[in-house]
Amino acid sequence: MRAFETEKTEVAEVDRSVYDIKDKVNAAFEVNSGLTAEIVEKISEEKHDPEWMREFRLKALDTYNKMSIPNWGPSLTGLDMSNIVTYVRPNTEMRGKWSEVPDDIKNTFERLGIPQAERSSLAGVGAQYDSEVVYHNVKEEVAAQGVVYTDMESALTGPYADMVKEHFMKCVPPTDHKFAALHGAVWSGGSFVYVPAGVHVDIPLQSYFRLNAPGAGQFEHTLIIVDKGAYLHFIEGCSAPKYNVANLHAGCVEIFVGEGARVRYSTIENWSKNMYNLNTKRAKVEKGGTIEWVSGSFGSHTGCLYPMSVLQGEGARMEFTGITFAGAGQDLDTGAKVVHAAPNTTSHISTKSIARDGGVSNFRSSVVVLPNAKGSKSSVSCESLMLDDRSRSDTIPAMDIRCDAVDVGHEAKIGRISEEAIFYLMSRGMTEEDARALIVGGFAEPIAKELPLEYAVEMNNLIHLEMKGSIG
């Protein structure tokens, strides 16, 4: 047997075959690549925006042009906006029945298991293909409770138009950062959810985003308003086939958590490895409300994802549970942000990150406690696991505490798989490969148990797949 010190962990690529099947691009309409006022006007015209939205888009474009690329975080030099097509409309209208969705698109979602999941475990499903939602449906009994789950375009002009206008990009203003401004200018698709006061949506809603066109961007907007005392679990999934040109995802999720309400937002991000995933997610939480983020980041070439929670009501709570798994060619910069803006608020951030095969998996966080947030508590815990010495894993947390009556804690750990643990497991009859897989699985387990069951199973499979043949 070779000495452990000389062993190298060579991790195989993930089997992405189901995600990588490309459909023939059959767009009904697409704008030219690049970003100009004419393109933004054209998108607005194609989408039959109300006038306020047209003006909003142009103002956001102006903001985009004035803002700089962030001077921190992963390199975005491979992203050239002049090559990105910001709007690609698939060759279909939005449907309320799977049977009416065109076969090629339907088959893609069938392979991803979306209709099956809808039948077995979801209260409603939205499916977006490139820039537009192609399918949206919510179970009758859920709709009967007054729950609204529809595409953003319908919401923008339907009975909830005023509510949309009141909340749209109020949580994430276009001035927040350059890619929020970009989103404001060219957003398309996404979902609108409204859960009335006191309604408990027992099974989750899910939106699935699929980007098929090479060199395209996806800019869906998800707006969720959960009224007083209500509960919602929303699941977001995303994937794309791999191309050799850069694709861009700059979506935006805004969640308004009402007094005493609770929202769980779960994401499994499995974009292809040519994707720049520059997504923005934010929740505002009122008195006694709770936001729970569960986030798994596996795909993308470059990712910047830091769901943010603004705890603006007394006693509001947030929990963030995340795992990031970065492999060859990936630079994933993930984490969370929280602002304690009211007394007795609580936040807990717990993350695990794994880097292997030359990948970069960085954790970044920000905890801000404002002067009025007396009695607040915050804890941050991040653990990183390096599987070889070609990879990189940086931990970059920051705290800004402006109130004395607080309890703020932070813990970070970085390390490798313990050789003693491997030795012990091997002495019990396991192969080294299985021992390593078991240890990585155990490392990820606290996160996996927070995921919806089918995703937890998928993640465990993924880890075992990754660790197979990992001893070189």
Residues making contact with other proteins (CB under 8 A) = 9, 71-72, 337, 364, 366, 368, 371, 374, 384, 386-389, 391-416
Q: Which helix (H) or strand (E) holds 363?
A: strand 360-369
Residue whose CB is less far from other proteins, 203 or 398? 398
- Closest approach, Cβ 467 to other proteins, in A, equals 15
5: exposed, middle or buried (Cβ count in 10 Å: 0-12, 13-18, 19+): exposed
| Residues shown for the chain | 472
Q: Quick one: which of 314, 297, 316, 298 has its CA closest to 306?
A: 297
- Closest approach, Cβ 248 to other proteins, in A, equals 21
Residue whose CB is less far from other proteins, 398 or 453? 398
- Closest approach, Cβ 369 to other proteins, in A, equals 9
The residues pairing with 309 across neighbouring beta strands, listed in sequence order, are 283, 338
Residue whose CB is less far from other proteins, 223 or 367? 367
- Closest approach, Cβ 358 to other proteins, in A, equals 11
Q: Which two tokens stand for residue 296?
A: 């798994």
- Closest approach, Cβ 468 to other proteins, in A, equals 19
- Report how far apart, in Å, the C-alpha atoms of 17 and of each of 13, 106, 153, 353 are: 11, 17, 32, 24
Residues 6+ apart with CB under 8 A from 145: 196, 199, 201
What is the separation, in whole angstroms, between the first and last Cα of the chain? 13
- Closest approach, Cβ 67 to other proteins, in A, equals 12
- With both helix axes pointing from N to C terminus, report the angle between 51-66 and 37-46 in degrees, rounded to the nearest 10: 150
Residue whose CB is less far from other proteins, 210 or 337? 337
- Report how far apart, in Å, the C-alpha atoms of 278 and of each of 56, 61, 79, 113, 159 are: 21, 17, 11, 26, 31
Residue whose CB is less far from other proteins, 62 or 394? 394
Residue whose CB is less far from other proteins, 42 or 392? 392
- Report how far apart, in Å, the C-alpha atoms of 248 and of each of 44, 354, 423, 466 are: 20, 24, 44, 26
* Phi and psi at residue 165, to the nearest 5°: -60, -40
Residue whose CB is less far from other proteins, 70 or 96? 70
Longest dimension (CA), the chain: 72
CB 354 within 8 A of CB 338: no
Residue whose CB is less far from other proteins, 225 or 437? 437
- Closest approach, Cβ 10 to other proteins, in A, equals 13
- Closest approach, Cβ 391 to other proteins, in A, equals 7
- Closest approach, Cβ 418 to other proteins, in A, equals 10
Neighbours of 389 (CB within 10 A): 10
Distance between CA atoms of residues 84 and 39, nearest Å: 12
Residue whose CB is less far from other proteins, 374 or 468? 374
